[in-house]
Amino acid sequence: MNERVEQALNDQIEKEASSSQFYLAMASWAEGQGLNGTAQFLYSHSDEERFHMLKLVKFVNERGGTAKIPGLQSPPESFSSMSNVFNLLLEHELDVTQSINNLVDICLQVKDYTTHNFIQWYVSEQLEEEALARTIVDKINMIGQDKAGLYLLDRDLENSAIQPSVVNTAGTGA
């Protein structure tokens, strides 16, 4: 496996692992606030990010590279509000998208079309995750400080919790 691609894939493993821990910290905070729907949504989101990480680990190893399992910085323990949580989440997803785009760029530069093909799954996934995060931030902005609105949003989030993908971490499958 090309060294630059391997490095970029390992960087991405670290990003997905960090995302998982970050959202886990948000979920735990939300649970402590009695925001059970939000907590459930974020716990599922954390699981989904772990799945993204695992899929990369398997791919790197299957292609003859060496996946590196990273040590991670501790995520924050508390957040100031739902708005704070979801603005951070959106910001984080935008950063992940940038890093996926960077990976696509490197694949094209070194003509690694197999990894390029594999990464397309992440490109679509980012589109969905960004759109979802934006929708939630928009709703929170609309609700403002209205407690009844926040209660309903929390309930809605419980219903829209991401169903963690059936784990098929084998290389190119989704």
Distance in angstroms (rounded) separating the CA atoms of residues 160 and 141: 19
Cβ proximity to ligand FEO: between 150 and 161 the closer is: 161
52 binds ligand FEO (CB under 6 A): yes
Binder among 6, 47, 112, 129 for ligand FEO (CB under 6 A): 129
Structural tokens at position 166: 């059936």
Distance in angstroms (rounded) separating the CA atoms of residues 45 and 32: 17
Q: How many residues bind ligand FEO (CB under 6 A)?
A: 7
Cβ proximity to ligand FEO: between 114 and 165 the closer is: 165
Distance in angstroms (rounded) separating the CA atoms of residues 38 and 2: 41
Distance in angstroms (rounded) separating the CA atoms of residues 89 and 49: 12
Binder among 18, 19, 38, 44 for ligand FEO (CB under 6 A): 19
One-letter amino acid identity for 114? Answer: T
The footprint of ligand FEO (CB under 6 A) covers 16, 19, 49, 52, 93, 96, 129
